[in-house]
Amino acid sequence: MTLTEKNSIREVLEQREYQFLNEYATKSIESKGRKIQEEECPLRTCFQRDRDRIIHSKAFRRLKHKTQVFLSPFDDHFRTRLTHTLEVSQIARTIARALSFNEDLTEAIALGHDLGHTPFGHCGEGVLNELVNGGFHHNIQSVRVVEILEKLNLSTETIDGILTHTWGFEPKTPEGQIVQLADKIAYINHDIEDSIRAGIITESDLPKECINYFSSNQSRRLNKMITEIINNSAGKNSVAMSDEAWGYTTELRKWMFDNVYMDSPAKLEEEKARNVIKELFYFYCEKLKNVCDEKRIERIVTDYISGMTDRYAIEKYKENFIPAGFHSSTKDDYLYKLANMVE
């Protein structure tokens, strides 16, 4: 395709959305726009640009060394926050394509949904939630990452999907609903596989009624969940799993919380991880006294620590709390950059 005097490639793509997407899909040309107005790209729709900006962000690259369930795994086959994000994106795109919703918007939301996640997974999030006034929630931090810390200036619809991917929020677009479901489907299934690999559970331990409905085979189970969403949502203006399938999905998720997420060998190192986050938080809050406005210290330290990877947090803990021979230490330049940032 070449650019013409009449239409740019972007405009052709926008026209195709009206031709091929269903009537309830979010169309690029109908986006509510960005907080800071920009000249449109001649090649990409607004949601394609959002996806590209997220992929090229520093926060996205750091996801490869952030915990999903197993803290700082040495086995390369366990999921990290990055591989989880890619699996969510793949599932969400499959659903969006089958239902003729906007695949570009769906992908942008999926790739950006966990950018604000802490080191050490939900353990790290829990510690910051206890320490920070007003609490800490990774979905809200993800929005802060794209809006303030990396200034990606994403479209309104992408930001809404990132904010509302967590259960209890209501996405304003069907594409956001797709990602909310894909996130749950992804982590339930890949956490089962990782837990079996780790020897924490066996396939036969899984609740029988759920296995009878979905299958004990991961591929077939995942396919069944996705198919239930597609069949239940075809021709509708919203996306949801059938009530029966959602009931079994919820039961399987609860079983994972009871047997893996809350009390299992996967949690043995969490108290140490909690201590790393807690000590770093107090240390950096003290370090910033007399450097910037005291009212901003907690916010700055939260941004700094939540952006750390597992191994960077451990390295900073060793550097500041574990005696060692002389070496050239890593610097805290970004901490002070955050302190001087004007919001």
Kindly report, residue by residue over 237-260, the tens digit of the pLDDT.
999 999 999 999 999 999 999 999
The CA radius of gyration of the chain, in Å to the nearest whole number, is: 22
Q: Is the pLDDT of residue 317 over 90?
A: yes
Percent of the chain residues past pLDDT 90, beyond the cut: 84
Mean per-residue pLDDT, 254-277: 87
Mean per-residue pLDDT, 98-113: 98
| Whole-number pLDDT of residue 285 | 97
Q: Is the pLDDT of residue 155 over 50?
A: yes
Burial class of 50 by CB neighbour count within 10 A (0 to 12, 13 to 18, 19+): buried
Q: Is the pLDDT of residue 74 over 70?
A: no
Q: Is the pLDDT of residue 268 over 70?
A: yes
- Residue type at position 165: H
| Whole-number pLDDT of residue 15 | 96
Token digits for 23?
A: 């009537």
Q: Which of 117, 177, 143 is nearest to 310 (CA)?
A: 117
| Whole-number pLDDT of residue 1 | 43
What average pLDDT is seen over the chain? Answer: 93
Regarding predicted confidence, which is higher, 343 or 128? 128
Q: Is the pLDDT of residue 333 over 90?
A: no
Q: Is the pLDDT of residue 197 over 80?
A: yes
Mean per-residue pLDDT, 78-93: 97
Phi, psi of 167 (to 5 degrees): -60, 140
| Whole-number pLDDT of residue 81 | 96
Q: Is the pLDDT of residue 263 over 90?
A: no
Handedness of CA 111, 115, 119, 124 (dihedral sign): negative
Q: Is the pLDDT of residue 265 over 60?
A: yes
| Whole-number pLDDT of residue 261 | 87
For residues 237 and 177, the answer to whether their CB atoms sit within 8 Å is: no
Low-confidence winner among 14-18, 88-92, 194-198 (lowest mean pLDDT): 194-198
Helices marked H in the chain — which ranges? 9-20, 46-55, 58-62, 81-99, 103-112, 121-131, 138-144, 156-163, 174-197, 208-214, 218-233, 243-256, 270-287, 294-306, 310-321, 333-339
For residues 137 and 166, the answer to whether their CB atoms sit within 8 Å is: yes
| Whole-number pLDDT of residue 330 | 65
Q: Is the pLDDT of residue 311 over 70?
A: yes
Task: Look up the pTM and report it.
Answer: 0.93
Q: Is the pLDDT of residue 181 over 70?
A: yes
- CA distances (Å), origin 108, targets 86, 284, 317, 327: 11, 33, 34, 41
Question: What CA–CA distance (Å, rounded) separates 8 from 12?
Answer: 6
Q: What is the pLDDT of residues 32-73, one digit of tens each?
A: 999 999 999 999 999 999 999 999 999 999 999 999 988 765
| Paired strand residues for 67 | 80
Q: Is the pLDDT of residue 191 over 60?
A: yes
Mean per-residue pLDDT, 325-339: 75
| Whole-number pLDDT of residue 297 | 97
Interior CA angle at 113 toward 112 and 117, to 5°? 105
Mean per-residue pLDDT, 293-320: 96
